[in-house]
Structure 1
Amino acid sequence: METIFITGASSGIGKAAAKLFQSKGWNVIATMRNPEKETELTQLENVTVLPLDVTNVEQIKSTTAKAISLGTIDVVLNNAGYALFGAMEAFSNEQIERQISTNLLGTLYVTQAFIPHFRAKKSGLFINVTSIAGLLAHPFSNVYHATKWALEGWSESLSIELAPFNIGVKTVSPSGTKSNFFNVAEIASFPAYDQAIQKMLGGFNLNTEPEQIAEVIYEAATDQKDKLRYLAGENAKKAYGRRLEIGAEAFRKETKAFFLKLLNT
Protein backbone atom coordinates (compact mmCIF):
# COMPACT_ATOMS: atom_id res chain seq x y z
CA MET A 1 0.00 0.00 0.00
CA GLU A 2 1.46 3.36 -1.04
CA THR A 3 1.61 6.38 1.26
CA ILE A 4 1.14 10.08 0.54
CA PHE A 5 2.15 12.93 2.85
CA ILE A 6 -0.01 16.05 2.43
CA THR A 7 0.48 19.58 3.77
CA GLY A 8 -2.44 21.95 4.26
CA ALA A 9 -4.98 19.13 4.55
CA SER A 10 -7.50 20.86 6.80
CA SER A 11 -9.66 22.16 3.95
CA GLY A 12 -10.03 22.73 0.23
CA ILE A 13 -7.68 20.93 -2.16
CA GLY A 14 -5.62 19.32 0.60
CA LYS A 15 -8.61 17.73 2.31
CA ALA A 16 -10.15 16.67 -1.02
CA ALA A 17 -6.85 15.00 -1.98
CA ALA A 18 -6.60 13.23 1.38
CA LYS A 19 -10.11 11.80 0.98
CA LEU A 20 -9.54 10.76 -2.64
CA PHE A 21 -6.25 8.98 -2.03
CA GLN A 22 -7.74 7.23 1.01
CA SER A 23 -10.67 6.05 -1.10
CA LYS A 24 -8.18 4.66 -3.64
CA GLY A 25 -6.54 2.48 -0.99
CA TRP A 26 -3.58 4.66 -0.07
CA ASN A 27 -2.20 5.38 3.37
CA VAL A 28 -2.56 9.11 3.96
CA ILE A 29 -0.59 11.30 6.34
CA ALA A 30 -2.61 14.51 6.46
CA THR A 31 -0.91 17.48 8.12
CA MET A 32 -2.34 20.79 9.27
CA ARG A 33 -1.64 23.55 11.77
CA ASN A 34 -4.46 22.60 14.15
CA PRO A 35 -5.11 18.85 13.95
CA GLU A 36 -7.13 18.96 17.17
CA LYS A 37 -9.89 20.74 15.21
CA GLU A 38 -10.10 18.03 12.51
CA THR A 39 -13.18 15.82 12.82
CA GLU A 40 -13.58 14.25 9.37
CA LEU A 41 -10.20 12.85 8.33
CA THR A 42 -9.60 11.41 11.79
CA GLN A 43 -12.54 9.06 11.25
CA LEU A 44 -11.13 7.53 8.06
CA GLU A 45 -9.23 4.26 7.97
CA ASN A 46 -5.53 4.49 7.02
CA VAL A 47 -5.42 8.25 7.61
CA THR A 48 -2.97 9.69 10.14
CA VAL A 49 -3.33 13.35 11.09
CA LEU A 50 -0.18 15.16 12.23
CA PRO A 51 0.53 18.78 13.23
CA LEU A 52 2.47 20.91 10.77
CA ASP A 53 2.86 24.64 10.38
CA VAL A 54 5.08 24.96 7.30
CA THR A 55 6.50 28.25 8.58
CA ASN A 56 7.97 26.39 11.56
CA VAL A 57 11.23 24.81 10.40
CA GLU A 58 11.74 22.78 13.56
CA GLN A 59 8.23 21.35 13.30
CA ILE A 60 8.86 20.45 9.67
CA LYS A 61 11.85 18.40 10.81
CA SER A 62 9.99 16.67 13.65
CA THR A 63 6.82 15.95 11.67
CA THR A 64 8.82 14.64 8.72
CA ALA A 65 10.75 12.33 11.04
CA LYS A 66 7.50 11.14 12.63
CA ALA A 67 5.94 10.45 9.21
CA ILE A 68 8.97 8.47 8.03
CA SER A 69 8.98 6.48 11.27
CA LEU A 70 5.50 5.24 10.39
CA GLY A 71 6.71 3.67 7.15
CA THR A 72 7.89 4.44 3.65
CA ILE A 73 6.58 7.62 2.06
CA ASP A 74 5.97 7.43 -1.69
CA VAL A 75 4.50 10.84 -2.57
CA VAL A 76 4.78 14.24 -0.91
CA LEU A 77 2.02 16.70 -1.82
CA ASN A 78 3.08 20.26 -1.03
CA ASN A 79 -0.27 22.02 -0.86
CA ALA A 80 -0.17 24.45 2.09
CA GLY A 81 -0.54 28.08 1.11
CA TYR A 82 -2.79 31.13 1.01
CA ALA A 83 -3.29 34.26 -1.09
CA LEU A 84 -2.20 37.80 -0.31
CA PHE A 85 -3.97 40.48 -2.35
CA GLY A 86 -3.37 44.19 -2.58
CA ALA A 87 -1.19 46.92 -4.01
CA MET A 88 2.55 46.48 -3.67
CA GLU A 89 2.98 49.74 -1.78
CA ALA A 90 0.31 48.72 0.72
CA PHE A 91 1.99 45.60 2.06
CA SER A 92 3.84 45.57 5.34
CA ASN A 93 7.16 43.76 5.63
CA GLU A 94 5.43 41.19 7.84
CA GLN A 95 2.76 40.47 5.22
CA ILE A 96 5.33 39.96 2.47
CA GLU A 97 7.54 37.77 4.62
CA ARG A 98 4.64 35.64 5.86
CA GLN A 99 3.44 35.06 2.29
CA ILE A 100 6.89 34.00 1.12
CA SER A 101 7.50 31.91 4.22
CA THR A 102 4.24 29.99 3.81
CA ASN A 103 3.90 29.58 0.06
CA LEU A 104 7.53 29.29 -1.00
CA LEU A 105 9.88 28.53 1.88
CA GLY A 106 7.48 26.06 3.47
CA THR A 107 7.43 23.99 0.30
CA LEU A 108 11.21 24.19 -0.08
CA TYR A 109 11.87 23.09 3.49
CA VAL A 110 9.33 20.24 3.47
CA THR A 111 10.83 18.97 0.22
CA GLN A 112 14.37 19.31 1.54
CA ALA A 113 13.41 17.26 4.59
CA PHE A 114 12.10 14.36 2.48
CA ILE A 115 14.82 14.20 -0.18
CA PRO A 116 17.18 11.98 1.87
CA HIS A 117 14.35 9.48 2.43
CA PHE A 118 13.55 9.33 -1.29
CA ARG A 119 17.21 9.21 -2.27
CA ALA A 120 17.87 6.30 0.07
CA LYS A 121 15.06 4.23 -1.39
CA LYS A 122 15.81 5.43 -4.94
CA SER A 123 12.25 6.48 -5.66
CA GLY A 124 9.66 9.06 -4.69
CA LEU A 125 7.57 11.88 -6.10
CA PHE A 126 7.04 15.48 -5.06
CA ILE A 127 3.84 17.13 -6.28
CA ASN A 128 3.73 20.88 -5.72
CA VAL A 129 0.39 22.65 -5.90
CA THR A 130 1.25 25.96 -7.51
CA SER A 131 -1.57 27.81 -9.29
CA ILE A 132 -2.46 29.19 -12.67
CA ALA A 133 -1.01 32.26 -10.89
CA GLY A 134 2.37 30.60 -11.32
CA LEU A 135 2.07 30.68 -15.10
CA LEU A 136 0.48 34.07 -15.77
CA ALA A 137 -0.16 37.27 -13.84
CA HIS A 138 -2.89 39.68 -12.79
CA PRO A 139 -2.68 42.94 -10.82
CA PHE A 140 -2.94 42.99 -7.02
CA SER A 141 -1.64 39.44 -6.66
CA ASN A 142 1.99 40.43 -7.09
CA VAL A 143 3.62 38.78 -4.06
CA TYR A 144 1.36 35.74 -4.42
CA HIS A 145 2.50 35.50 -8.05
CA ALA A 146 6.11 35.84 -6.92
CA THR A 147 5.78 32.75 -4.72
CA LYS A 148 3.95 30.68 -7.31
CA TRP A 149 6.24 31.61 -10.22
CA ALA A 150 9.19 30.81 -8.00
CA LEU A 151 7.74 27.38 -7.23
CA GLU A 152 7.33 26.65 -10.93
CA GLY A 153 10.96 27.47 -11.74
CA TRP A 154 12.27 25.71 -8.65
CA SER A 155 10.22 22.60 -9.45
CA GLU A 156 11.54 22.47 -13.00
CA SER A 157 15.12 22.75 -11.81
CA LEU A 158 14.62 20.14 -9.10
CA SER A 159 12.98 17.71 -11.52
CA ILE A 160 16.28 17.57 -13.41
CA GLU A 161 18.53 17.64 -10.35
CA LEU A 162 16.81 14.67 -8.67
CA ALA A 163 16.43 12.56 -11.82
CA PRO A 164 19.60 10.49 -11.16
CA PHE A 165 17.96 9.21 -7.98
CA ASN A 166 14.66 8.29 -9.67
CA ILE A 167 12.88 11.06 -7.76
CA GLY A 168 10.13 12.85 -9.66
CA VAL A 169 8.88 16.42 -9.32
CA LYS A 170 5.57 17.64 -10.73
CA THR A 171 3.39 20.73 -10.39
CA VAL A 172 -0.38 21.04 -10.42
CA SER A 173 -1.72 24.47 -11.41
CA PRO A 174 -5.39 24.90 -10.44
CA SER A 175 -7.95 27.39 -11.63
CA GLY A 176 -9.74 29.43 -8.99
CA THR A 177 -11.21 26.83 -6.67
CA LYS A 178 -14.42 26.72 -4.67
CA SER A 179 -13.09 26.58 -1.13
CA ASN A 180 -12.34 29.01 1.65
CA PHE A 181 -9.79 30.70 -0.66
CA PHE A 182 -11.07 34.23 -0.05
CA ASN A 183 -11.95 33.50 3.57
CA VAL A 184 -8.32 32.78 4.40
CA ALA A 185 -6.88 35.26 1.90
CA GLU A 186 -5.30 38.42 3.25
CA ILE A 187 -6.21 41.70 1.56
CA ALA A 188 -4.15 44.81 2.19
CA SER A 189 -6.30 47.94 2.04
CA PHE A 190 -4.96 51.17 0.56
CA PRO A 191 -7.35 54.01 -0.40
CA ALA A 192 -5.76 54.80 -3.77
CA TYR A 193 -6.33 51.21 -4.94
CA ASP A 194 -9.28 49.82 -2.96
CA GLN A 195 -11.94 50.33 -5.64
CA ALA A 196 -9.74 48.79 -8.32
CA ILE A 197 -8.89 45.86 -6.07
CA GLN A 198 -12.54 45.13 -5.37
CA LYS A 199 -13.36 45.24 -9.08
CA MET A 200 -10.51 42.89 -9.90
CA LEU A 201 -11.31 40.42 -7.14
CA GLY A 202 -14.97 40.52 -8.10
CA GLY A 203 -14.03 39.22 -11.52
CA PHE A 204 -12.27 36.10 -10.23
CA ASN A 205 -14.09 32.94 -11.24
CA LEU A 206 -13.87 30.42 -8.41
CA ASN A 207 -15.91 27.69 -10.08
CA THR A 208 -13.60 24.65 -9.90
CA GLU A 209 -14.41 22.11 -7.21
CA PRO A 210 -11.53 20.99 -4.96
CA GLU A 211 -12.42 17.41 -5.88
CA GLN A 212 -11.61 18.17 -9.53
CA ILE A 213 -8.15 19.37 -8.54
CA ALA A 214 -7.69 16.27 -6.37
CA GLU A 215 -8.41 14.08 -9.40
CA VAL A 216 -5.61 15.80 -11.34
CA ILE A 217 -3.27 15.36 -8.38
CA TYR A 218 -4.13 11.66 -8.31
CA GLU A 219 -3.44 11.45 -12.05
CA ALA A 220 -0.05 13.09 -11.56
CA ALA A 221 0.74 10.68 -8.74
CA THR A 222 -0.13 7.54 -10.65
CA ASP A 223 0.31 8.05 -14.40
CA GLN A 224 4.05 7.19 -14.36
CA LYS A 225 4.71 9.96 -16.91
CA ASP A 226 7.84 12.07 -17.07
CA LYS A 227 5.74 15.24 -17.14
CA LEU A 228 6.28 18.39 -15.12
CA ARG A 229 3.13 20.53 -15.36
CA TYR A 230 -0.52 19.56 -14.93
CA LEU A 231 -3.19 22.21 -15.46
CA ALA A 232 -6.29 21.66 -13.37
CA GLY A 233 -9.63 23.22 -14.25
CA GLU A 234 -11.01 24.54 -17.52
CA ASN A 235 -10.26 28.18 -16.74
CA ALA A 236 -6.60 27.39 -16.13
CA LYS A 237 -6.36 25.45 -19.37
CA LYS A 238 -8.12 28.21 -21.31
CA ALA A 239 -6.05 31.07 -19.86
CA TYR A 240 -2.69 29.35 -20.23
CA GLY A 241 -3.65 28.12 -23.68
CA ARG A 242 -4.34 31.71 -24.69
CA ARG A 243 -0.93 32.81 -23.36
CA LEU A 244 0.80 30.09 -25.34
CA GLU A 245 -1.23 30.93 -28.45
CA ILE A 246 -0.46 34.64 -28.65
CA GLY A 247 2.81 34.78 -26.69
CA ALA A 248 3.69 36.11 -23.25
CA GLU A 249 4.08 39.78 -24.24
CA ALA A 250 0.83 39.94 -26.19
CA PHE A 251 -0.95 38.19 -23.34
CA ARG A 252 0.38 40.76 -20.86
CA LYS A 253 -0.89 43.61 -23.03
CA GLU A 254 -4.25 41.90 -23.43
CA THR A 255 -4.55 41.50 -19.66
CA LYS A 256 -3.59 45.14 -19.12
CA ALA A 257 -6.20 46.30 -21.62
CA PHE A 258 -8.85 44.21 -19.89
CA PHE A 259 -7.83 45.64 -16.51
CA LEU A 260 -7.95 49.26 -17.68
CA LYS A 261 -11.34 48.68 -19.30
CA LEU A 262 -12.60 47.09 -16.07
CA LEU A 263 -11.59 50.19 -14.10
CA ASN A 264 -13.63 52.40 -16.42
CA THR A 265 -16.87 50.41 -16.15
Structure 2
Amino acid sequence: MPTILISGANRGIGLELARQFALGGWTVIGTARHPEAATDLAALPSTTVLPLEATEPESLAALGASLDGQPIDVLIANAGIAINLAASAAEVTRQDFLKVVRTNTFAPLALAGVLKPNLLAGERKLAFAMSSLMSSITANDWGTQYTYRASKTGLNAVWTALTREWRPLGIACGLLRPGMVATEMTNFNGIAVETSVSGMKQVVENFTMADAGRIIGYDGTDVPW
Protein backbone atom coordinates (compact mmCIF):
# COMPACT_ATOMS: atom_id res chain seq x y z
CA MET A 1 0.00 0.00 0.00
CA PRO A 2 1.27 3.51 -0.76
CA THR A 3 2.00 5.73 2.24
CA ILE A 4 0.89 9.35 2.66
CA LEU A 5 1.83 11.83 5.38
CA ILE A 6 -0.69 14.59 6.09
CA SER A 7 0.13 17.38 8.52
CA GLY A 8 -2.63 19.00 10.55
CA ALA A 9 -4.72 15.85 10.14
CA ASN A 10 -6.72 16.02 13.35
CA ARG A 11 -9.61 18.13 12.04
CA GLY A 12 -11.20 19.82 9.04
CA ILE A 13 -9.64 19.25 5.63
CA GLY A 14 -6.71 17.32 7.08
CA LEU A 15 -8.94 14.83 8.87
CA GLU A 16 -11.08 14.29 5.78
CA LEU A 17 -7.95 13.81 3.66
CA ALA A 18 -6.79 11.16 6.13
CA ARG A 19 -10.21 9.50 6.11
CA GLN A 20 -10.56 9.32 2.33
CA PHE A 21 -7.01 8.10 1.74
CA ALA A 22 -7.26 5.54 4.55
CA LEU A 23 -10.55 4.19 3.22
CA GLY A 24 -9.00 4.18 -0.26
CA GLY A 25 -6.40 1.66 0.81
CA TRP A 26 -3.51 3.96 1.67
CA THR A 27 -1.32 3.80 4.76
CA VAL A 28 -1.77 7.17 6.47
CA ILE A 29 0.58 9.01 8.79
CA GLY A 30 -1.29 11.97 10.26
CA THR A 31 0.32 14.62 12.42
CA ALA A 32 -1.29 16.73 15.11
CA ARG A 33 -0.01 19.18 17.68
CA HIS A 34 -1.85 17.22 20.37
CA PRO A 35 -2.03 13.59 19.17
CA GLU A 36 -3.66 12.41 22.39
CA ALA A 37 -6.72 14.45 21.45
CA ALA A 38 -6.83 13.28 17.81
CA THR A 39 -9.23 10.44 18.54
CA ASP A 40 -11.11 10.60 15.23
CA LEU A 41 -7.84 10.42 13.33
CA ALA A 42 -6.51 7.53 15.43
CA ALA A 43 -9.71 5.56 14.79
CA LEU A 44 -9.14 5.43 11.03
CA PRO A 45 -7.85 2.18 9.49
CA SER A 46 -4.14 1.87 8.65
CA THR A 47 -3.43 5.22 10.29
CA THR A 48 -0.64 6.31 12.62
CA VAL A 49 -0.80 9.57 14.56
CA LEU A 50 2.44 11.42 15.31
CA PRO A 51 3.05 14.70 17.15
CA LEU A 52 4.18 17.75 15.19
CA GLU A 53 4.36 21.48 15.71
CA ALA A 54 5.89 22.34 12.34
CA THR A 55 7.03 25.81 13.41
CA GLU A 56 9.33 24.33 16.08
CA PRO A 57 12.70 22.89 14.97
CA GLU A 58 12.78 20.40 17.85
CA SER A 59 9.40 18.96 16.87
CA LEU A 60 10.41 18.68 13.21
CA ALA A 61 13.64 16.92 14.18
CA ALA A 62 11.73 14.49 16.40
CA LEU A 63 9.35 13.66 13.56
CA GLY A 64 12.24 13.05 11.20
CA ALA A 65 13.90 10.76 13.73
CA SER A 66 10.72 8.78 14.32
CA LEU A 67 10.32 8.24 10.57
CA ASP A 68 13.95 7.39 9.85
CA GLY A 69 14.03 4.80 7.06
CA GLN A 70 10.26 4.99 6.45
CA PRO A 71 9.41 5.43 2.75
CA ILE A 72 6.72 8.05 2.12
CA ASP A 73 5.07 8.21 -1.28
CA VAL A 74 3.12 11.45 -0.83
CA LEU A 75 3.45 14.44 1.49
CA ILE A 76 0.57 16.87 1.94
CA ALA A 77 1.67 19.82 4.07
CA ASN A 78 -1.86 20.73 5.03
CA ALA A 79 -1.57 22.50 8.40
CA GLY A 80 -2.38 26.20 8.22
CA ILE A 81 -3.99 29.07 10.09
CA ALA A 82 -5.85 32.31 9.43
CA ILE A 83 -6.12 35.27 11.82
CA ASN A 84 -8.63 38.13 11.55
CA LEU A 85 -9.26 37.86 7.82
CA ALA A 86 -11.41 40.99 7.80
CA ALA A 87 -8.68 43.23 9.29
CA SER A 88 -7.95 46.48 7.46
CA ALA A 89 -4.36 47.37 6.63
CA ALA A 90 -4.18 49.53 9.77
CA GLU A 91 -5.44 46.67 11.93
CA VAL A 92 -2.86 44.09 10.81
CA THR A 93 -0.34 43.53 13.60
CA ARG A 94 3.27 42.46 13.27
CA GLN A 95 2.64 39.59 15.66
CA ASP A 96 -0.29 38.20 13.67
CA PHE A 97 1.47 38.68 10.34
CA LEU A 98 4.61 36.82 11.39
CA LYS A 99 2.62 34.03 13.06
CA VAL A 100 0.59 33.33 9.92
CA VAL A 101 3.62 33.46 7.62
CA ARG A 102 5.59 31.22 9.98
CA THR A 103 2.81 28.62 9.93
CA ASN A 104 1.61 28.83 6.33
CA THR A 105 4.83 29.62 4.47
CA PHE A 106 7.85 28.49 6.47
CA ALA A 107 6.43 25.37 8.13
CA PRO A 108 5.50 23.50 4.91
CA LEU A 109 8.97 24.11 3.48
CA ALA A 110 10.64 23.02 6.71
CA LEU A 111 8.50 19.88 6.83
CA ALA A 112 9.36 19.02 3.23
CA GLY A 113 13.04 19.43 3.99
CA VAL A 114 12.88 17.05 6.93
CA LEU A 115 10.99 14.43 4.94
CA LYS A 116 13.13 14.62 1.80
CA PRO A 117 14.91 11.29 2.56
CA ASN A 118 11.54 9.60 3.11
CA LEU A 119 10.17 10.90 -0.19
CA LEU A 120 13.29 9.77 -2.03
CA ALA A 121 12.74 6.31 -0.57
CA GLY A 122 9.10 6.24 -1.70
CA GLU A 123 7.83 5.13 -5.09
CA ARG A 124 5.52 8.00 -6.03
CA LYS A 125 7.72 10.86 -4.78
CA LEU A 126 5.05 13.60 -4.57
CA ALA A 127 5.17 16.67 -2.31
CA PHE A 128 2.15 18.96 -1.97
CA ALA A 129 1.34 22.06 0.02
CA MET A 130 -2.04 23.70 0.51
CA SER A 131 -2.42 26.92 -1.46
CA SER A 132 -5.52 29.08 -1.96
CA LEU A 133 -7.24 31.37 -4.43
CA MET A 134 -6.17 34.08 -1.96
CA SER A 135 -2.60 33.45 -3.12
CA SER A 136 -3.41 34.77 -6.58
CA ILE A 137 -2.34 38.34 -7.34
CA THR A 138 -4.27 38.25 -10.61
CA ALA A 139 -7.53 37.23 -8.92
CA ASN A 140 -7.28 39.72 -6.02
CA ASP A 141 -10.07 42.13 -6.80
CA TRP A 142 -11.57 42.72 -3.36
CA GLY A 143 -8.70 43.33 -0.93
CA THR A 144 -8.47 42.44 2.80
CA GLN A 145 -7.07 39.12 4.12
CA TYR A 146 -3.59 40.68 4.15
CA THR A 147 -1.76 38.17 6.31
CA TYR A 148 -3.38 35.10 4.78
CA ARG A 149 -2.83 36.32 1.21
CA ALA A 150 0.84 37.09 1.89
CA SER A 151 1.43 33.72 3.49
CA LYS A 152 -0.08 31.77 0.60
CA THR A 153 1.56 33.87 -2.13
CA GLY A 154 4.85 33.32 -0.33
CA LEU A 155 4.10 29.61 -0.17
CA ASN A 156 3.58 29.55 -3.94
CA ALA A 157 7.00 31.17 -4.39
CA VAL A 158 8.90 28.78 -2.13
CA TRP A 159 7.11 25.72 -3.55
CA THR A 160 7.95 26.82 -7.07
CA ALA A 161 11.61 27.03 -6.06
CA LEU A 162 11.35 23.62 -4.40
CA THR A 163 9.84 22.24 -7.61
CA ARG A 164 12.92 23.28 -9.54
CA GLU A 165 15.35 22.04 -6.91
CA TRP A 166 13.73 18.64 -6.52
CA ARG A 167 12.71 17.91 -10.11
CA PRO A 168 16.17 16.46 -10.96
CA LEU A 169 15.80 14.13 -7.94
CA GLY A 170 12.55 12.72 -9.29
CA ILE A 171 10.32 14.41 -6.69
CA ALA A 172 7.32 16.21 -8.20
CA CYS A 173 6.01 19.18 -6.19
CA GLY A 174 2.55 20.66 -6.53
CA LEU A 175 0.13 23.00 -4.81
CA LEU A 176 -3.49 22.17 -4.01
CA ARG A 177 -6.40 24.59 -3.76
CA PRO A 178 -9.23 23.20 -1.61
CA GLY A 179 -11.67 26.03 -2.35
CA MET A 180 -13.73 27.74 0.32
CA VAL A 181 -14.60 24.77 2.48
CA ALA A 182 -17.14 24.63 5.30
CA THR A 183 -14.73 24.17 8.22
CA GLU A 184 -14.00 25.92 11.49
CA MET A 185 -11.63 28.30 9.67
CA THR A 186 -14.47 29.61 7.46
CA ASN A 187 -17.16 29.52 10.17
CA PHE A 188 -18.54 26.53 8.26
CA ASN A 189 -19.32 28.52 5.12
CA GLY A 190 -18.54 27.01 1.72
CA ILE A 191 -18.58 23.67 -0.01
CA ALA A 192 -18.71 20.37 1.83
CA VAL A 193 -15.31 19.16 3.01
CA GLU A 194 -16.05 15.76 1.47
CA THR A 195 -16.48 17.36 -1.96
CA SER A 196 -13.26 19.35 -1.74
CA VAL A 197 -11.18 16.44 -0.50
CA SER A 198 -12.60 13.99 -3.03
CA GLY A 199 -11.48 16.33 -5.80
CA MET A 200 -8.03 16.90 -4.30
CA LYS A 201 -7.53 13.17 -3.78
CA GLN A 202 -8.15 12.65 -7.48
CA VAL A 203 -5.60 15.38 -8.30
CA VAL A 204 -3.01 13.71 -6.06
CA GLU A 205 -3.58 10.25 -7.47
CA ASN A 206 -3.29 11.48 -11.07
CA PHE A 207 -0.35 13.84 -10.50
CA THR A 208 2.84 13.27 -12.50
CA MET A 209 6.12 15.08 -13.04
CA ALA A 210 4.49 16.82 -16.01
CA ASP A 211 2.22 18.59 -13.50
CA ALA A 212 5.05 19.77 -11.22
CA GLY A 213 4.73 23.43 -10.25
CA ARG A 214 0.99 23.73 -10.92
CA ILE A 215 -1.58 25.09 -8.47
CA ILE A 216 -4.53 22.78 -9.04
CA GLY A 217 -7.97 23.27 -7.53
CA TYR A 218 -10.18 20.54 -6.13
CA ASP A 219 -12.17 20.90 -9.34
CA GLY A 220 -9.12 20.22 -11.51
CA THR A 221 -8.70 23.82 -12.69
CA ASP A 222 -5.48 25.80 -12.31
CA VAL A 223 -5.29 28.82 -10.02
CA PRO A 224 -3.93 31.93 -11.81
CA TRP A 225 -0.71 33.37 -10.43
Q: TM-score higher than 0.5 here?
A: yes
Distance in 1 between the 2:19 and 2:122 partners? Answer: 26
Q: Contact 2:71–2:121 (CA<8 Å) still a contact in 1?
A: no
Superposed displacement of residue 231, structure 1: 1.1
Where 1:159 maps in the other structure, the secondary structure is helix
Partner residue in 1 for 2:55: 55
Pairing 1:167-186 to 2, within 5 Å after superposition: 167-182=171-186
The one of 147, 151, 164 aligned to 1:147: 151
Superposed displacement of residue 126, structure 1: 0.6
Distance in 1 between the 2:29 and 2:47 partners? Answer: 6
Pairing 1:209-248 to 2, within 5 Å after superposition: 209-225=192-208, 226-227=210-211, 228-233=214-219
User: How many pairs are equivalent?
Assistant: 217
Calculate the TM-score normalised by the size of structure 1. Answer: 0.75
Partner residue in 1 for 2:20: 20
Deviations 1:143-197 (A, max 9, x none): 11011111112222222221111101011112211010145xxxxxxxxxxxxxx
Partner residue in 2 for 1:96: 97
**Structure 1: segments with no counterpart, 5+ residues:** 184-204, 249-265
Partner residue in 1 for 2:80: 81
Partner residue in 2 for 1:251: none
Q: Contact 1:4–1:28 (CA<8 Å) still a contact in 2?
A: yes
Q: Are residues 1:113 and 2:117 paired? A: no
Partner residue in 2 for 1:197: none
Q: Contact 2:72–2:121 (CA<8 Å) still a contact in 1?
A: no
Superposed displacement of residue 103, structure 1: 0.7
Computing the radius of gyration from Cα coordinates, the structure with the larger value is: 1
Q: Contact 2:8–2:31 (CA<8 Å) still a contact in 1?
A: yes
Quick one: which amino acid aligns to residue 174 of structure 1?
A: P
**Structure 2: segments with no counterpart, 5+ residues:** none
Quick one: which amino acid aligns to residue 103 of structure 2?
A: T
Distance in 1 between the 2:121 and 2:11 partners? Answer: 32
Pairing 1:198-217 to 2, within 5 Å after superposition: 206-217=189-200
Superposed displacement of residue 56, structure 1: 1.2
Change (3 A) 1:182 1:217: closer
Change (3 A) 1:123 1:43: closer
Q: Contact 2:9–2:18 (CA<8 Å) still a contact in 1?
A: yes
Distance in 2 between the 1:120 and 1:49 partners? Answer: 21
Distance in 2 between the 1:144 and 1:8 partners? Answer: 17
Distance in 1 between the 2:16 and 2:124 partners? Answer: 25
Of Structure 1 and Structure 2, the greater helix share is in 1
Partner residue in 2 for 1:254: none
Q: Are residues 1:157 and 2:161 paired? A: yes
Change (3 A) 1:182 1:218: closer
Where 1:140 maps in the other structure, the secondary structure is coil
Change (3 A) 1:38 1:123: closer
Distance in 1 between the 2:219 and 2:189 partners? Answer: 10
Partner residue in 2 for 1:72: 71
Where 1:5 maps in the other structure, the secondary structure is strand
Partner residue in 2 for 1:191: none
Superposed displacement of residue 220, structure 1: 2.6
* Bigger Cα displacement from structure 2, 93-102 vs 82-91: 82-91
Partner residue in 2 for 1:257: none
